Each structure stands twice: as C-alpha cells, then as structure tokens.
Amino acid sequence: MKKFRIKQVRSGIGRPVKQKRTLEALGLRRMHSVREIEATPQVLGMIAKVKHLVTVEEI
C-alpha cells in the first residue's frame, strides 16, 4: 500500500475549527512536524481538506 510523508508548512492559527481538527487527526501538532501515513481513502480526504497547509510526498 502507498505511504505519504506529510509535513505541516503553514499554521492552523486563524483557520476554521474543522481544519484544525483535521490537522490534529493527521497527527500534525505543530509547524514542520512530519508524519508517514498509509494512503487510505479517509486519509486522502483529510489531506485534500488541508492541502494548503501541508506538503505531501509519496514514499
């Protein structure tokens, strides 16, 4: 299964609550934090919601 490396590059401050919660659900707690996550449909949907706050690269 594919894996993605997700890095938070923009802050969640001043963003809608749903976007803040999505960042937390992805495991991104602070700026420049990085997570490696398997590509499930749920994760791909969450990435799409916060694509302007993160960078994504396929592993």
Instruction: Pull the structure tokens for residue 19.
Output: 């976007």
Write the burial class of residue 1 (CB in 10 Å: 0-12 exposed, 13-18 middle, 19+ buried).
Answer: exposed
- In angstroms, rounded to a whole number, what is the distance separating the alpha carbons of residues 1 and 15? 32
Amino acid 1: pLDDT: 83
The whole-model pTM stands at 0.89
Q: Which CATH number is 17's domain given?
A: 3.30.1390.20
What are 13-26's pLDDT values in tens digits?
A: 999 999 999 999 99
What's the structural domain count of the chain? 1
**Cβ proximity of 43 and 6 under 8 Å:** no
Give the domain extent around 15: 3-58
Amino acid 53: pLDDT: 97
What are 1-10's pLDDT values in tens digits?
A: 899 999 999 9
What are 21-59's pLDDT values in tens digits?
A: 999 999 999 999 999 999 999 999 999 999 999 999 999
